[in-house]
Amino acid sequence: MQILVTGGTGYIGSHTVVELQQEGFEVVIVDNLSNSSGDVPYNIEQITGTLPVLEVFDLCDLGKTEALFSNYPDIEAVIHFAAFKSVGESVNEPLKYYHNNILSSVNLLKCMKDKEVNKMVFSSSCTVYGQPEQLPVTEQAPLRKAESPYGNTKKIMEDVIFDTTRASAIQAILLRYFNPIGAHESALIGESPTGIPDNLVPYITQTATGKREFLRVFGNDYNTPDGTPVRDYIHVVDLAKAHVVALKRLLESKTLSKCEVFNLGTGTGYSVLDVIHSFEKVSGVKLNYRIVDRRSGDIEKVWADTSYANRELGWKAEKGLDEMMLSAWEWEKKLKN
Ligand code: UFG
């Protein structure tokens, strides 16, 4: 049995490939390497002892996607990560995001339906909740209009997948991630943003190595304990493990409906300053940061109600903020050398 992992050389994808291989699954990766390196499979091999297959092409190419499924008839399930993910870029180039994220997913689902590959785990985001009225946010919270075209592609894809499960034999689990950070303990895989990072943690670690001059903290006048926005940061390895649990749930036909949804977070919110202080503690580096104006589109606070995922998946995030920040720092130092 083989598992197809789209976007498997990317940040969350690569960590998930490691966990899958360590659980005995054979993995085929498809990735166009638009935001990742073709070396990642070799780093995965160093961790697990097994080199995953990598097919380099774009899922927007329907012919190549069909050929992939014909060439790998043992694929039983798909974990779908491949997507553009920069919120800021998506605002400036919406068509790039709608074209890539949606067409690739529609092609994938078409091929799955044709080849009767009927199980999909999808990489969604807590962005679909916007600023929730009630915290912690449960899976039943109303979905809101996305702040960015990127967020909207996640929302649209959830709808596309849901509708497809209703009209075909495909079953899916949608995983709504909160804020994944950190890196594998080996420091062989991690997040390597191209250009200037959008996200807080790579910006912190790049500032600490001197690659960036200072971190801008976007606003300290929010209605939160220290005035900076609060998020539910989750270690990428905890997140990766949840994908294996979700996959097994599909393969063992334990799902309660054709399209299930789970929040993946720790259930604890931390502010931007909490994250900075944790980083300073575990790294011993004093971070150069300045409070600046709010960033447009940022929400004030969000953290997950994880009780449904904990109970139903039998999965719980285990790693705390310090461990997340230390692993992110070890990875950044390795990248620099
Ligand atoms: N922040 C800073 N300075 C920076 C970068 C971020 O202060 O240089 C702050 C932000 O204002 C925010 C927090 O750090 O308060 C986290 O910001 P990130 O950009 O790391 O994460 P977001 O919560 O904005 O975005 C994440 C994912 C998106 C997803 C979104 C859903 O990166 O993919 O959550 O809310 F859409």
Distance CA 226, CA 270 (A): 10
Q: Ligand 1 atom 4: the closest Cα is on which residue?
A: 200
Record the tokens describing residue 306, joined without a space.
């994880």
| Type of residue found at 158 | E
- Which pLDDT tens digit goes with each residue over 114-144? 999 999 999 999 999 999 999 999 999 999 9
Confidence class of residue 300 from pLDDT cuts 50, 70 and 90?
very high
Query: Would the pLDDT of 328 be above 90?
Result: yes
Decide: 287 and 216 in contact? Cβ < 8 Å: no
Gap from CA of 116 to ligand 1 centroid (Å): 38
Residue-wise pLDDT for 73-123, tens only, equals 999 999 999 999 999 899 999 999 999 999 999 999 999 999 999 999 999
What number does the ligand 1 atom closest to the CA of 126 have? 31
For residue 261, report the phi and psi dihedrals to the nearest 5 degrees. Answer: -130, 135
Confidence of residue 145 (pLDDT cuts 50, 70, 90): confident
Whether pLDDT at 49 is above 90: yes
State mean pLDDT over 3-13: 98
Is pLDDT at 171 greater than 90 in this prediction? yes
Q: Is it the case that residue 13 has pLDDT exceeding 90?
A: yes
Testing ligand 1's pocket by substitution, the residue of 97, 147, 175, 198 carrying the most ligand atoms inside 8 A of its CB is 198
Q: Provide, rounded to the nearest whole percent, the portion of the chain with pLDDT above 90.
A: 96
Residue 336, number of CB atoms within 10 A of its CB: 12
The one catalytic residue among 11, 97, 129, 150: 150
Q: Give the number of other CB atoms < 10 A from CB of residue 2.
A: 16
Residue 193 has a pLDDT of 85
Report whether the peptide linkage leading into residue 197 is cis, meaning its omega lies within 30 degrees of zero: no
- Chain mean pLDDT for the chain: 97
According to the model, what pLDDT value does residue 147 have? 86
Task: Give Cβ neighbours of residue 193 (< 8 Å, ≥ 6 apart).
Answer: 199, 202
Please report the atom of ligand 1 found closest to the CA of residue 229: 15
Expressed in angstroms and rounded, the spacing between residue 104 Cα and the centre of ligand 1 is: 25
pLDDT at 25: 98
How many Å apart are CA 262 and CA 87, to the nearest integer? 22
Q: Where are the domains of the chain?
A: 2-181+233-264
Cα-based distances in Å from 240 to 39, 182, 209, 243, 264: 20, 12, 27, 5, 10
Which of the listed residues 101, 204, 272 should we mutate to test ligand 1's pocket, taking the one with most ligand atoms within 8 A of CB? 272
Q: Which is it for strands 230-231 and 270-271: parallel, antiparallel or unpaired? A: antiparallel
Q: What is the mean pLDDT of residues 197-221?
A: 97
- Please compute the mean of the pLDDT values over residues 287-315 and round it to a whole number: 97
Task: Give the mean model confidence (pLDDT) for residues 183-208.
Answer: 95
pLDDT at 157: 98
Q: For ligand 1, what atom is nearest to the CA of residue 147?
A: 36
Nearest CA to ligand 1 atom 26: 179
Q: Which residue has the higher pLDDT, 154 or 195?
A: 154
What's the CA-to-centroid distance between 200 and ligand 1, angstroms?
A: 6
Q: What pLDDT shows up at residue 336?
A: 82
Q: Looking at this protein, which amino acid is placed at residue 81?
A: F
CA angle 67, 70, 75 (to 5 degrees): 115
Which of the four pLDDT bands, split at 50, 70 and 90, describes residue 71? Answer: very high
pLDDT in tens, 256-282: 999 999 999 999 999 999 999 999 999
- In the CATH hierarchy, which fold is given to the domain comprising 2-181+233-264? Rossmann fold (3.40.50)
In this prediction, residue 337 carries a pLDDT of 76
Alpha helices in the chain (DSSP H): 11-22, 40-48, 62-71, 87-92, 94-97, 103-115, 149-167, 200-209, 236-251, 272-283, 307-313, 321-336
* HSE-CB for 135 with a 13 A CA cutoff: 17
To the nearest whole percent, how much of the chain has pLDDT over 70?
100
Is 150 in the active site? yes
Above 90 in pLDDT, residue 194? Answer: no
Q: Which of 215, 231, 290 has most ligand 1 atoms within 8 Å of CB, for mutation?
A: 231
- Position 288 pLDDT exceeds 90: yes
Q: Which atom of ligand 1 is nearest to the CA of 150?
A: 36
Strand partners, 173: 121, 260
